[in-house]
């Protein structure tokens, strides 16, 4: 009997097993993949579609088709199997992989052979033993005695008579089919799996003096499926198809540089609601590998630096707060007056800027969401070292309206169908609040700071907020936020005062 030996670290043993060779693998080189023509479609939500067409010999009648080298994280319920002149009867996914630990666990209650080697003489002693337990260590019975195989470094090997039939060297799918004809034919399988993911990473070199940036986009693939996909045609989908599970997650409001979705059409293929990013050449996605592929390289994109501070309602700062620095650009049509000229998949943008010696230096990074062509983006790079904003409530007083208002009217329907109406009256209170914002600029160039006052809308019935006096004209973005674009002179300061009248 052929024995193959291996090691098990947890028990300090060397294991061996006789492994039966399946007929379909007889001519396959050691380590070769059993996959055929493979294509992989990878989505953003830890989900991928694998399609594999293999040429297999199937006998007439009922037989089992064994398909190794599928994803170890396959979703078996999503399997599609198709071949000519055969129908599927049953399918099984064998994910209990052959390891020293699993081999020993499956041997519980079975006989094995122990080989002990004398360190001094090299003489070997063989004993038959029965494995009793592997919980916390290996317990065996040898004749009338019970022994624990210790991890003490002594040369001990365990010889197994056979490999249990439900242990596989590689993740394997087995399908029982009923064929009306015998012969070799293409077999197509299709399934969804987790463990394959991709994301976009961007590198942007910002030229503040020229008001432009150069951007490169990289697709980063990560394979944690436990299986290598060899020479696979790879298609990336920007989007997250539904999985039947509720989707929850925070929504991000980007302050004064909100994400403004574009209305342009990108020159890319779409399927349903998603953009497709095919890799130009087939590629091998190895197990436990991260791979990067370039998909975007644009020069001279118009970009500008901006500064902002969002001030919550009734904020009085104890000290000046550094303004947030961001870089604004567009995904509009490529050109000196437009933008990147492409839709951007969600990912991380890392910004660099050259120092006086001409060397690029990292200045910050931010996340970008899925952005259609023509979108206006503002990505944060960090805090401005020498630009600050200090907000103070300088006055707040109650204003008496001198009247009552019917603020709620409702109708009551009785059990007998009759109706009555009622009116609730409450006093309306008005408040006048004066805010002062002090902005400083320690740079040798003038800057503009986007000053955003938020919290103006307390509740839907208290949305009557008015800016009755302001030293710098503002713009109401919505019921909750008002924006002031404040010029701050070089090495100087600017004061802005705004008086609001509100119902709270």
pLDDT tens series, the chain, 504 aa: 333 333 333 333 433 333 333 334 434 444 577 889 999 999 988 899 999 999 999 999 999 888 888 898 989 889 888 899 988 888 777 666 677 887 888 888 889 988 888 877 888 888 898 999 888 888 889 988 998 887 666 678 888 888 877 777 677 788 889 999 999 999 999 999 999 999 999 999 999 999 999 999 999 999 999 899 999 999 999 876 766 555 444 444 444 444 555 555 556 666 777 888 898 889 999 999 999 988 889 999 999 999 999 999 999 999 999 999 999 999 887 666 678 888 889 899 999 999 999 999 999 999 998 888 888 899 999 999 999 999 999 999 887 664 324 334 455 666 777 766 655 555 667 889 999 999 999 999 999 999 999 998 876 556 678 889 999 999 998 888 999 999 999 999 999 999 998 877
Residue 19: per-residue pLDDT:
33
Q: Are 371 and 365 in contact (CB under 8 A)?
A: no
Residue 55: per-residue pLDDT:
92
Residue 412: per-residue pLDDT:
62
> 84-99: b or e for each residue (b if 16 or more CB lie within 10 Å)?
eebeeeebebbbeebe
> What kind and span of H or E run contains 388?
strand 376-413
Residue 21: per-residue pLDDT:
31
Q: Cα separation of 307 and 313, whole Å?
A: 20
Give 94's strand partners.
172
Q: Cα separation of 391 and 310, whole Å?
A: 10
pTM above 0.85, yes or no: no
Q: Are 187 and 88 in contact (CB under 8 A)?
A: no
Residue 244: per-residue pLDDT:
58
Place of tokens 């791979």: 291
Residue 337: per-residue pLDDT:
62
């Amino acid at each position: 009997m052929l024995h193959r030996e291996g090691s098990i670290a947890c028990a300090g043993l060397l294991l061996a097993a006789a492994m039966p060779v399946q007929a379909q693998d007889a001519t396959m080189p050691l380590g070769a993949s059993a996959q055929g023509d493979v294509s992989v479609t990878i989505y953003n939500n830890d989900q991928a579609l694998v399609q594999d067409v293999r040429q297999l010999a199937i006998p007439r009648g009922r037989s089992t088709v064994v398909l190794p080298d599928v994803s170890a994280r396959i979703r078996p319920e999503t399997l599609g199997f198709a071949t000519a002149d055969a129908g599927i009867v049953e399918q099984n996914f064998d994910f209990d992989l052959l390891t020293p630990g699993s081999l020993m666990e499956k041997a519980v209650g079975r006989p094995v052979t122990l080989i002990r080697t004398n360190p001094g003489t090299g003489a070997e002693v063989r004993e038959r033993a029965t494995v009793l337990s592997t919980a916390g260590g290996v317990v065996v019975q040898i004749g009338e005695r019970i022994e624990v195989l210790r991890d003490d470094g002594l040369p001990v090997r365990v010889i197994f008579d056979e490999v249990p039939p439900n242990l596989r060297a590689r993740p394997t799918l087995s399908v029982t089919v009923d064929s009306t004809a015998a012969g070799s034919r293409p077999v197509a399988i299709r399934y969804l799996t987790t463990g394959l993911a991709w994301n976009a990473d961007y590198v942007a070199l910002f030229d503040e003096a020229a008001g432009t940036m150069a951007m490169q986009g990289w697709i980063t693939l990560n394979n944690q499926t436990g299986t290598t996909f060899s020479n696979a045609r790879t298609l990336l989908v920007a989007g997250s198809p539904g999985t039947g599970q509720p989707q929850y997650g925070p929504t991000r409001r980007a302050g004064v540089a909100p994400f403004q979705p574009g209305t342009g059409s990108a020159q890319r293929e779409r399927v349903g609601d998603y953009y497709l990013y095919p890799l130009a050449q087939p590629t091998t996605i190895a197990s436990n590998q991260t791979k990067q592929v370039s998909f975007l390289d644009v020069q001279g994109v118009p970009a500008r630096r901006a500064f902002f501070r969002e001030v919550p309602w009734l904020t009085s700062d104890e000290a000046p707060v550094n303004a947030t620095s961001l870089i604004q650009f567009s995904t509009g049509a490529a050109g000196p007056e437009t933008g990147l000229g492409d839709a951007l998949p969600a990912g991380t943008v890392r910004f660099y800027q050259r120092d006086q010696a001409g060397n690029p230096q990292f200045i910050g990074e931010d996340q970008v969401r899925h952005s259609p062509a023509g979108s206006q983006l503002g990505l944060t790079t960090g805090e401005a070292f020498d630009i600050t904003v200090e907000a103070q409530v300088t006055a707040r007083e109650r204003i008496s309206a001198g009247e009552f208002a019917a603020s709620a009217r409702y109708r009551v329907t009785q059990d007998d169908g009759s109706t009555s109406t009622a009116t609730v009256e409450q006093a309306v209170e008005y408040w006048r609040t004066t805010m002062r914002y002090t902005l400083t600029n320690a740079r040798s160039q003038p800057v503009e700071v986007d000053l955003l006052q938020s919290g103006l809308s307390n509740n839907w019935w208290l949305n009557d907020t008015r800016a009755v006096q302001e030293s710098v004209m503002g713009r109401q973005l919505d019921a909750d936020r008002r924006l002031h674009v404040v010029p701050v002179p070089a090495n100087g300061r600017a004061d802005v005062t705004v008086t609001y009248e509100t119902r709270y």
